[in-house]
Structure formats: structure tokens, C-alpha cells
Structure 1
Amino acid sequence: MSDACGILIGGSPSTGSSVLVNVLNRHPELAAGPETYLFIHPDLYREWDRYGHYLLKRDRFRGLKSIGWFRKNGADLLLPEYGWDPARLAALLNRSASFPEFVEGYFSTAMTRKGATQWIEKSPSNSLAFPDFLKFFPEGKVIHTTRNPYDAVASLIARGHSPWYAAGAFVLNAAMALRSAEHPRYRLLRYEDWLLDPQKELRQVLNFLELDWREGLLTPSSSELGEEVRMEGWLSNEKGALSRDSIGRFARLPAGDRHQVVQALQAFELTPAYAKKWDLQHRNIRSIAPTLGYELERSTGKSVNFTLQRLEDWWSRTWRWYPTGLLHYPAQSATPPQKKPINQ
């Protein structure tokens, strides 16, 4: 193990993690860059000697295929912000005896450039390996970003995902992140709290990270203001000033679209086998929403059948040889809650 000090941000997608990492990157002691997906693979922590070399060469049939909902093969380590070329990266990998040692070396270039003392990496799928990160990085910390699940799913649908996929992305990533909820180096950040009182929430995050407050953290630079929104369907610029526009997104949808969102979240459930394999305490929105402090929405309309969307997602995983395909698909349609009999 290593005393490497780093910070992971993860959780369900479309929960404000991009906004958070860009704000934190304004702090002089923190160095951040684009998503690398380096930390989402439990095998890298547990069996470095066996799986580390797949960081240099992706393999369709073996290697580092994501065990979560978002399909990702390997990691993106040659992004210019981190300052590595293939030859130097290969040399670093070959001399690294463990995953933490590789990570320390990998982030050293970006930290030196900025004069930072800690690195921070944001990928929603980081939640897949929060427990491993906290174990193998004894000084590391994790921030779990979350949001009203109905707003988050509405946002993902606006970005082109099917309701089934969007519901799965929220439920699976949240369930994964909540495994670490009782750990002292875990912190939950709710999107709504963050946008309604950004200074208060940011101060609490900095206290958690043991960093001092710096003026200007909440003020985007002129270059940041000039950048475009990165994802289709976003209501604000991830590097711009904080905006409350995306709070209550679900409530502003037409009734038919709200019905789709509610039905998808009601229908999606992780299988018992998947929950057992990854030690998940939560399998569906009925359990996750109240745990995160959100109320469940009810739908009184006609039931929506998501079988076709589920099969399309299963097939896209299976033909790409992901561990979440074929006989190991992680989700099923939830059994509707039984109505209580009326006493005669």
C-alpha cells in the first residue's frame, strides 16, 4: 500500500460532478484534468501485476472492461492535460510495483506544472471502486455527488439516453457509492444543497479535504466563461457561474415525459446476484432515494414496458464482451409492490 494522497469524485452521472471538479481545480493546491477512467476498475487495485499492462493496450475479449453501467474499456491516459506520451507512460508502468505507485507517478506531472499538493480526478464511474480506493490509498478521500433522481434521469434522457439506461445509470452508480457511506473519508454532496448555498457547501467540502478557503473559487475565469457547454442537453456551462436552472428539471417536463421518468426508475432494479457480488445494500430507487434524502415520485398512469430497451442494452454489452452482458446482466424489471389487502 501507499500513503498517496488523492481525491476521487464519483456518483451517478448528471449530478454536478463536472461543476464541482472545475470549481476545485481553481484551488492552487489541487490539480485536476479531464476524466481518465483510471480508477473505475477494481482489478487494478487488487491484481496490478495481472491487469496493469492493459492500460497500454485495450483488448476486446479480456482486460479492463467496466464492471458497471457505463461501458468503458481501459482508461484514457494520454490526454494532453496530464503530460504523458506513450513511451514515457510505458516506462512508468513498467517500473511501478503497485497501482498506487503508478498513480503517484502519473499525476506528478500535472501537479508539478501547477504547483499543487494533491490531485483530484472526476469520473462518475469512480463510485465503482470507492471501497478499493479508500483501502489502497490510506490518505485518499472520496466525494459522492448526488441529485434528485428524477432530475438526473430527465437530464440523461435529454442527452439522448433511453429511460431504461438513464434509470440504470443513476441506480447502479448510487448503490456502488453508498457502500462507502459510513467511511470517515467519504462525503456526500447533494446537487441542490450545492447550488442553493454554494459558499456554505464549498467551505464544508474544503474542510473535509483539509484545505483553506481561497477567494475566487466560485468565480469562473474569462477563459472558462468562453467555453461551450460540453454535453447536449445540459442547461448550463460546467465551467461557468453556478446556476439553479437545472433544479426542478423533472417538474418542468410535460406530463408524458414525467411519466416515463417515474416509470423507468420504478422498473429498474439490480439483480440479487449482482448485488451480492459487489456487496450492495441497495438495489432500487425505493431504497436509494430516501437514503439520499429524496422523496419518491408516484405515477398513476399506464405502466410502461421497458423490455425492448433492456434487451437492446443487454445486447450492446454482450456483443462487446463486457462482464455485464450475456448471463451476467446486472439489472431486471422490479416486481411491483404488492398492495395491502383491504380489511373487510
Structure 2
Amino acid sequence: MEDLNAEEDELAKILRNELCYPNGIEKNPKECAVIFHKLGLLYKRRYNIEPDKIFLIQSAALMNAALVRKPDNTKTVQNDIQELYVYVLRQANVQTKNNNHLDMVTERVKTEVNEMREWVDNELFLLRIIPDNAKGDELLRLEKEKISKIMMIQEKTTASYRAIMKNLDRGCLDVLRKVPCKYTLAGMGSLSRNEITPYSDFENIIVLEEGAQDRKDYEEVLEYFRWFAVIFQLVLINIGETILPSVAIPSLNNFTIKGGDWFFDAYTTRGISFDGLMPQACKSPLGRQRKTEAKPFTTELIKPVSLMLAYLESSRDVYDDFESRLDRILEYKV
């Protein structure tokens, strides 16, 4: 691991001192793509030494960061991303003859996302502009109509987003096959409040059926859903809208030390992705797996109902907030 740390530090040094401006913005994205590609392969190798699933997520994000910068070796990067998919499936003990299945899921998600965005753009374009000379009852009527229209757009956007994630959920199940217990993939944040936008991130948890914690194979159950979360996240990363700071690569964006967060990703589209891996975020199934001085503990958001509720601080949170989230959004039970 020491050799990999030295190699990463050297690559990051080139990026910071030669290829980026002092504000962390890249001078030439194609040249930076070479570094990101090498770092992506390095993080895949890290997993061989220390099997931490976060490394696989970071590897995917780095190689996709290289890809969106349209490098000269685009085909090679695409092949390495495909090999990462195959590698992840092998590590998850998935027996499949169709290594392209996740590519098909990714393309379907991209199509559904683009269709959602096109619909929203069209509906917003058709919103009636209220004339400057509208007054009194006429002004009130026009404002009410516009508010109703915007609320309709908001509700349908949220419904479309929810459907996209539910379809992705099923796509992951098609890969992993038999599910070990009943579960719910529950969206949080803006999705739970029906305030989603076509570019919102996906904050989510996996709630297992109560009693799963009493099973002799509980650890195997957890491992199944950990790989589910990795595969789900890799598909979202391959949409190409996960910025590098959100995956907290230590040599680029170390949020635990002063001056460690120096890189600014100005080229990757900020769009649909998982909640970030920064210490203050991590609202996703794998949770926060890095201890910090302020938070010297880890969290995992794959739990049965009673253990998940233990994360909440008050009965008001339990009854007014958390249960309302579980009753809505991506309810997919088996």
C-alpha cells in the first residue's frame, strides 16, 4: 500500500503543480484525463490489497472523469471501465454470461434521464408569462394558474425520477439474482419531499425486513446489499455526472485536513449521482466508512427497521420524518 500511496502522491503532484491553476481548475482537461485514468486504475489495484468497496466507487469515478474530458485514448478508458464492471461482478460472486448487462442498464438510465429532462424543459418553456399590465383579480388568477402548473411539473418530475431509480433497482436485482430478504430502497432529502429536480443527487438507504438481524447469515445478507449498493452507484457514476470532489479522493479532496481540498472539477456535469463521500454527507447505503476527528466512528445505512431508527435522535424524528420517508419513494419489496 505504501508504494500505491507514493504513486498516487506523485500523480496528484503533477496534477496540482503542472496541470491546474492555483484555484484547482484544470489548464488542459485532456492532459488531466491521463492522470485521472491512471488514478482510476490505481484505485482498482488498491482494492486487491485492501478490499474496501469505496475504492471501487472511487476508481469508477476517476475513470469516468477521464472519459468526460474526451481523452485521446477514449477507447482504452472505455475498455477499462468495462473491465472494472466485470471485476466488480466477479468480486460480488455474480455468475453471469452477459458482462454487458450493466452497460445496458446504464444506457437505459441515460435515456430515461434525458427524456425526463426534455419533458421538463418543454413544460417550463410553455409556462405562460404573466403580462406586466395584469392587475387585481386577473393577476391573482394568472399567478394561481402558474403556481398550479409548476406544482404539476414538480410532482411529475419527482415521479419520473422515482421511476428511473426503481428501474435501476430492478436492473441491479437482475444482475445479483436471488434476494436474501425483503427490503425497501428508500429515497431521502428532496426526493422524499417531492422537491426533486432533473439534476438532483440521490440520497438513499436500504431498510431490511425486521428480524434479518437475528438470522445466522445476517453478515451474508449485509454483504449482498453492500454489493447491490456498489453496483447501483457504479451505474449512476457511468452516467458521467459524478464530480470528483464528491467521491473524496484523498490526494485531490481531503476534507479532513487544512488545505487538503484543493481540486475543483469544472468539467464534469453536476447532475444525478449518489450523495457524496465527504464526512458531512454519506447519505447512501455504504454510509460513512472513514473515521474523522470530529466523527470517530463509521455508519452503514443498510439495516433492519429497528436498527435504522436507532440513528434518529428523537421520537418526533421517528414518527414525523423517518416513517413518512419509508412510506414514499422507491418502495420495492420482495
- TM-score, length basis structure 2: 0.25
Which structure dedicates a bigger proportion of its chain to strand? 1
Which structure dedicates a bigger proportion of its chain to helix? 2
Larger Rg: 2
- TM-score, length basis structure 1: 0.24
